Structure 1
Amino acid sequence: MPDGTMLAALYRGTGPAAEVLEVVEVARPDPGPGEVRVRVAVSGINPTDVKNRAGIMTWPIDGFQVPHHDGAGTIDAVGPGVDPGRIGEQVWLMMSAHGNAWGTAAQWCVVPEWKARRLPPDTDPLLGATLGVPAVTAAYALTADGSVEGRDVLVHGGAGAVGRCGIELGRWAGARVITTVSSEAKAEVARTAGADLVVDYRTEDVVAAVRGFSAGVHRVVEVSLAANAAIDTEVCAQDAVVVVFATDGGEAVLPVRPSLLKSLSFRFILLYNLDREALELASGVVERALDDRALTLPPITRFALEDIAAAHQLQESGPFGRVLLDIP
């Protein structure tokens, strides 16, 4: 390729992956004030990325959009106002494509410098590319309402991207972690991540299992309030917080009386709505956990950049583990 160009996957309008995604040669972006440019090694795909591309949840496209919030790579240029000492730093990327045409599905991306988070030098970039949205979501859910040290935490969907991060971060923060799963294979993922109690909700009575283990859960990381509202109100301790980060299962019916009697709080979070301070605090939790080697690589499926449409299709099918793109 000519100097100053790069390969990027992009879409110019929303729709099915095979119809709107293309891999093309484009001009390599330069960082502006307060920005860094990252040579991307690995790009991570989240449910939010495929929903944006499909038009289910999206923002206006200014000509084109390079997708994907998550990734890992090395800073190779900085804009005005950014410490030149960051050049050469290995980083993981957070919310790269939010309000920005340059997501991580390209050889280079440009982001505000605070969205390029320090990755310990000997850390596998594959792990770095699995952090971003799920790790920051889990960190915020666990820590925004106070410490969970010495507390019991319930993480629903422990084999999912957010759930698995929630298990590892919860254990690192000093909590006892209970999780729910839907199969033995997923139970093994959760046990490997360090869950203290794993409950298969398809074959076990979740309330009985949790009550047999815990006198009361203090924090819930909730992926499906529609399915779990009654369970959460039954197993929570007084003044517990249920943090809802997804809408799996549709609309929920909230048991009001038991929630009232226990003074439960229900917090609904969307990373897009968090301000920079909140995102940086949660990202700082992830960075400290990385320093302590508390986060590990989940099951992954890897695709080449040119196979991005197939990678999106797999993500839409509900994959086991994370879907990653290797960037040439």
Structure 2
Amino acid sequence: MKKFISKIVFLFLPFGILSLSLDIYVSNQLRKSHINGDIEVWNDIYDGKAGCEIAIYGSSRATRHINPLILEDSLNQTGYNFGIDGHHFEMQYFRHTEFTKYDQPPKTIILSVDIFSLGRRYDLYNSQQFLPFMFWNKTVYEYTSDYKGYSSLDYFVPLIRYIGNGEIIHSLIKNPNSPQINQKGFKGMERTWSDDFVKAKMGKDKYVIQYDAATISLFHQFIKECKDTGTELILLYTPEYIDGQNFVENRNVLIDLYKNIAQEYDLLYLDYSDDELCYQKDFFYNGEHLNSKGADLFTKKLASDLKKLRTE
């Protein structure tokens, strides 16, 4: 029996070593590449290079709308945009926990909230962003394994997770020297208005905001943690095109909820839902997102407002 086990080990050990070596190599190459903007942000976090005085959290509306370089220039404080595309607050909180694990907590957090923040999705959107970091990573497993995306084997067996992600390997081989996508996490979109939003809402009833009790509880927990650490937390609702606002049936209820939360915890809440930008289609590329021109205009306005509030 011992001889049989020894033969099995002898047979599979070289394969295991080779698999692990290839996994490390592919993951390191993927980390060095610029084929996924969220990988760039995770890289900065895990390398301890995302330290800043002003941290910007949120979804793609944070990533696309708030340029940290403009904030830095105006407020004379370092900034970084930690927005994570397509995800609700739970995943934004996960990114926060990893950031503060590898860097000092920021002095100020600007949390961009929207109609999706307090809900929950069940698929692991843009799951490829976790590929180089998830192998035997307990925290990544804790926050992502409940989503529909990866099996337990993907987290603990080398190379398995890459089998269904051949396209990203192909992109890595094809574009080994791809240019950087983000600027300190910010990704401005050089795009003009698309009719996709108009087509999407044709023949449909108004969108109804969905809430998730666990996410709301986590949201309150996060606010309390900021209070405990002395971190200034600002809730921010960035501009949203007026037609997009009107398409949401219970939007006013959500806005009142954010106002009440801000009042409960004595937080600054800045709502740009009625800003002049919201009525100018030229500054948007869809109902939810500003283009790069609109983002720069908005960030300058935000920086100016913050500057005034801090000198009052």
TM-score w.r.t. length of structure 1: 0.23
Q: Which has the higher contact order (CA 8 A, sep 6+)?
A: 2
Larger gyration radius, structure 1 or structure 2: 2
